Structure 1
Amino acid sequence: MILKCFHAVLLAFELNALMYTLLPHLISGAGSIAGLPSSVPLGTSFTTAHTFWMQSQNERFQLDLRSWVDAGVEQCMGGVRFTFKTPNALMWTFNSLPEPLIGSHCTLSLRSDGVLALSLTAAASSSPVVAWQTPTAGLQVQNLTLQDDGNLVLVDDAGGVVWESFGYFHHLFLIPSNMRFVQNITLYDRVPLYSDFSTPGCYALRMGSQGRLEMFTRSNMYVYHSIGINTTDSGDGEVADYIVIHQDIEFYSSQGIFLGSVAHNILNDDPLPNGTDLVGSALFKDGNLMINRPSPENPNHHLWYFNSSISNYCNFPLVCGEYGLCNPETRECSCPPGFQITSSKPACTAQDEPTRKCSCPQEYQMPNFNSTCVPIDPSLSLRAINVSFHAQPSAFSVASQDECRNLCEKNASCNAALFDSNSLSCALFPMLYTVGLPSQGISTGQVMFLKITSTSSNRSSRSSTAIIASTTIVGAALIMIIAFLVVWRWWWQPHHIRMKAQERFLQEISKLPPRFSYKELQAATNDFSKRLGTGGFGSVYEGVLNTPNGVVKVAVKRLDQVGVLTEHNMDHQFKAEVATIGSVSHVNLVSLKGFCMEKNARLLVFEFMPRGSLDRWLYEPQADESGSSASDKKDLVPLTDSSHEILNWETRCRIALDTAKGLEYLHHQSAESIVHCDVKPGNILLDEDFHAKVGDFGLAKLMGNDSQSFAMTTLKGTRGYLAPEWLQHASITAKSDVYSYGVVLLELLTGRRSLDPEHGHLPTWVVKTISAGNNTTSASTANGATSLDFETMNASLIQDAIMDHRLPCDSVPKDSFQQVLMLALACVQADPGDRPSMASVVQMLEDILEVSYSPPSLKLGHLRQHSYAATLSGSDTTSCSISGAAFSGLGRGACDGR
């Protein structure tokens, strides 16, 4: 019997080996594999050790999961690939950004609770951690299906789709035929990474708000070409909302009405197959948008049938490098006044990934610039230069060329401006690449301004002087140090050890921002004379710095050594801020411009946020300054009984979304997961246009990839925003930030503070108010909680009781208010596991995902001293959609009983 079992096992191994040997013969020329399932049940897992994956029924798409080792670091990546395009055929990845995950033993599992999860083992851990998962627990998921258009979906027992990749992932490397390419999706140029996997390159494409496909450089969002149709000839001029690729690029309205098409323009091998049968895919190739299809005779051979055909050589952004001018007739590069041309690329100083992809091509094995321009003469700064450029969707209206020039001069982040006299528009950029010159004898009415703030000759002179001076100083300093060590060794040795430790710390931080001296920051802040605010660890002062890019207004935070705060603890606090902020970069996070670590001085230099913190605008009306511009007014609501203004509904919604995106980046997208630990209106800062950025990472805690939680030895944060687990001395996770964010969301809805002497804790007051206003629909549950049914509630009464009464009655849509209220209550639930992730919050607010807390009923748990639990649960399932129109305040509603 034992012998028979042994032979059976041996036979199984032989068959398995035979399958691996025969695998190349089972794969068709198009890359498909015979016999792969298109749907798998609960409990299915895929690992990087698998040879077979899921495949769509039409054999055009496959589920792929790979791992590899790069420079000794194990990495993995997974997603859906297009079988008719190789190499680098991955269409989208499971990562929120298409970058590889760091770790080994990657596994994609459809768990028994209906959640699709991607897990891996980090280098410093022996147990797997979840890197990504779907918010589908408890939604009766039955299987995972790969559809014929490449959409990966989770299907429930009734056959309905409860989650789909096309509604979640917005970053693509190719657009397959029959797929809807909508406005919140971006197509990227590809940099080869490993096998069929890529990372985003320099170029990208999106569906613009004006209904055209916009091709732009990721580093500065400069649009260099667009593709679209003329809707004014086809009737009411409706703007296209999405495209579908068949034989041609077809444009459709948001209602699915066909508006027109851009015809295929490569006639080889015509006629093309029937549009519905055409297996095409759009992708970037050398800055052009191309569409190809496999050859019928050889599927690995690609036949092109569309090319965006950028015929003007000067329209390609990188042909003349940074700030280069391009002659379209001679194809020669030159430099603007105040610059000189160089064929040797200066050392790449770009910090963020998109800019490095464009400005540092040699790092990514891409063609280098033929030349580039470097500044030499600041006297020619902001001189008008006649140029020719594509219309920029980011441009805004101005009255004159001088106004555009002045806007760039006053904007610290603007180093280049483009003015178009034809449309009286102005676009500002942190930097520019190639800009075309007008053809001879033609006036375009377009002008470029460039800031020039330093010269290479001055830098060289200063460098020579510095070398001579430093040599003299070093010699004298050596003598002084020797004498100092002999006399004061008992003091010097510990001080020297501390300084060495500081230097090691500074050397270990990647992407270190500029380092300033204390005297520089003392002068910049006028001896710290204008205080902007005070926090638990220091004060913030307004300052002005002279940088190579011009005069920049900044906010300088000085950490104070007060009370029982020792120098060791202060250094620990300071290093936490520098390490954390220096490692992240996101449009919704306040950026660190520099720091000072000199003797006992610990200072941080941040970008200046002119509108201050959210608490300034949320609780107290602001005076209606006579200098307010029209752009200011659109974000504010004047109070009828005074000359003061408050934030309107649309602005509050935008602030909520901006804040959620910043926290989502910290939790899910930064190199290390970061928990902010002190989310509150005072740490949400507003720029000139009332866009929000999350600031003050002083309490932030970095979580390595091997950990999803950590323990705090002391209570931190701010009363009123602390999650219950802080008070219970439990593990702190990213869900602790979600709770704090939920309190902020309630403050945006109500206009009340988190802690109020009259009403107490805001979440508790909100739930009590809902309960008191709906006594007829309240019922006691088995555990003694109070259950409220949202379907039978009077939503208008709830809104009237809770909403900020200073807002105009008809300015807040009823459905939108109720749905945001539900999201806020979901965030402040007592159990961290019941709160949504910040990624899910962003998706809900952007209407990418439906709010799927079921049913719309609220269980009100017992009151607690420091917090109040609210959970959404029940046996039936329903959905509340936070639509983009509703959330942006475009809908209108009535306030009953106001």
Structure 2
Amino acid sequence: MGFPFPSPAIFSIAILFFVISSYSSLASSVTKKHFMYKGSSLLVEDYLSDLLTSPDETFTCGFYRFGTNNRFSFSIWFTNSEEGSSQGTVVWTANRQHPVNGRGSRVSLQRDGTMVLTDVDGSIVWFINTNTTGTGVDKAELLNTGNLVLKDPFGKILWQSFDSPTDTLLPSQPLTRHTKLVSAMAIGTHASGYFTFNFDSDSVLRLMYDGPEVSSLYWPDPDFTIFENGRTNYNSSRIALLDDMGAFLSSDRTNFFASDLGSGIKRRLTLDYDGNLRLYSLDESTKSWTVTWEALPRPCDIHGLCGRNGVCTYTPKPKCSCPPGYEIVDPSDWSKGCRPKFNWTCDQTQQYTFVEVPHTDFWGYDLDYRPSSSLEHCMKLCLENCSCEVFVYRLMKGTQNCYMKFALFNGRSASDFPGSAYLKLPRSLNLTSAKTAASTTLVTSDYTCRPEEVDPVEVGSSQTYNANNRRTRWVYLYMFVFAIGIIEILFLASGWWCLYRRGDGVSKSTANGYHTLSSEFRMFTYSELKKATGMFKEELGRGGSGAVYKGVLQDDRVVAVKKLGDVLQGEEELRAEVITFGRVNHMNLVKMWGFCSEGTHRLLVYEYIENGSLNNYLFSNASNNSNNGAILLNWRERFRIALGTAKGLAYLHHECLEWVIHCDVKPENILLDGNFEPKIADFGLAKLSKRGGSGCQFTRIRGTKGYMAPEWFLNLPITAKVDVYSYGVVILEIVKGSRLSDWVVVDGEEEAELIRFLWVARKKIAECKDDSWVEDMVDPALKGQFNQQQAAIMIEIGISCVEEDRSRRPTMDAVVQTLLDCEDDPKLVL
């Protein structure tokens, strides 16, 4: 009689029990400690087990290995924050420039309280000595915040890693006048790079390229003043902080917010190797980081990215290239840029020619600027000047302008740049192929900006900068066997699930979907809304997305019911629209109360705003005004409407959980409540905008003629700047008291009233040394009863908002701050 072989189920359970026991023994061998006392050390040979962990195990401190190399740093990292990696994302490093050996290195907290990092030969690589106060260090501790601290016996912190950040800022870690973030040189190394983030000498937070040859500020936009960028240099405190919710607040008004704003999410603000400042959130389920905000959506705006003479272009990812007549210096390091294939001389007999590189600019290093200059004249000036290496010929404000450069730095190429760079090259150089290439595009190489690194990943992807080392160690063999056992148990259980629970699962899923939707608002029936509106009898207005009717619900609430036209198609799209805009909650935005999706009927239910739309009061003398001489808005009401509308748009663009572009800002969509407080309405044309994206794609032009930005007609990506343009028209109409969006025929050609207004305003501003010009631009119906300073600022805001070049328009955040700064000025011109 043979020995009975155990059943598969019993065999699996036995294996499972063995693996669990083995894994538990392995886990117990890892020393988890929160403190490091005097006389103790961390050894590099035990870098996987000899560690400090924070009490909540979010952070780990110890020796961190660089890939598969025998190089280690003393670092702090997020515990297991990278899938497939035994060590997570590093947030602080003591020895960035000097890695230590994988044998014989150690970190010691010595008897005298000094913390020392020594290499294999005993040389001191890094140390902290706090023994200057008479009370020595008692222990080192890693806090739940990720802060490594040295404490005395009484618990007082004598030193902390938060005071010396590397490239990352953690929630609750302040950025002060004495600290800065410095980027890494490349992915896979912690060595310091060329990009910094700190308070500059003018007390404003800035991003700067500080390379071996030049230094250059690139964020906020160096083409604008501090004021135009929404910042202030009246900032003696110089302090900034990222909080646990994902909000970054600074004393210079550098404020931004994570797209997933809320508590319970692990975050970090990192100055990446490519010079871009990004806010990351950790997806606990996938162990990957997602970008939830970034400073520069267009990486080619980062200075120094491609080195001297290099050009950054989109193909469609950012790539570095050398222009005609130049070649790459070091294929492994684009920061070294390109070198000319010729020698620069000032020999008068040298013959030069120019090669055009379309849609390309080199920022800064201007030798001379000649406005309204012809191309031939610009070439002549550059030929006559020995220092001129290139000139940029571009369209600005309707005229062609010449910018001569003595160096080729910060090159960038983009299809929407309205100009070309003309390289000055010797005739003796073989330019045949270069000219052919330059006539259409740059001569690009096969190298990305950092060729030794992985290709750039689309911003916002869950894999962005997820540098997994994928180390294979024996511990994973145990984990693999453990997983096999779990899978077998799940396989056996799945049969039972499929046989007995299949139907319930589907029905519950569907029910939960509707429950989630209906819990946000009230779901109305069509008959209920038809009765509330009296068969849609009283029409309040009509916009691009449908007509709006007045109604009264059974609970006596007065509502506005919008019957959607062809903007939304189908129940799923309506559901997405409702859920998205249901999250929008601001005092200057109309509140949505419910919806109806029944058959072919699509309706939205909003709060009723009693005083109607702004146009009925602003243009009271218009022949088509239904109110026939409605109440004239006084100056304080006009200013409050301008400010409130700006606040509402700023919330949509910068603060709410989903970034929203309204797309149809006009007086008809600005409603006034009983106190004449504005509320923006009609989101039927609105579009969600991906944070950090370059713009939205629309299948058709949206908006109202006269309020639409030039981007709509130039087939450019649509950004929040289209709302800024529309707001500019509105604020000028608020000041003027008449339609500037109307079009008139002048000399047989159609022209906007806005163009004529801008021409007169700019002329008066240029001619007058004070604000005396303002009175001629303000609504005469006010009879001189207005605040001259506020009016001047509102006109200047309006002019800047309607700039043809959208990059020169301010953000709505900056507009709000400008209006707030003059809100309390009590002076009136009588």
TM-score range, shorter chain: 0.3 to 0.5
Tell me: higher relative CO, structure 1 or 2? Use CA pairs within 8 A at least 6 residues apart.
2
- Structure label with greater radius of gyration: 2
Name the TM-score, length of structure 1 as normaliser. 0.41
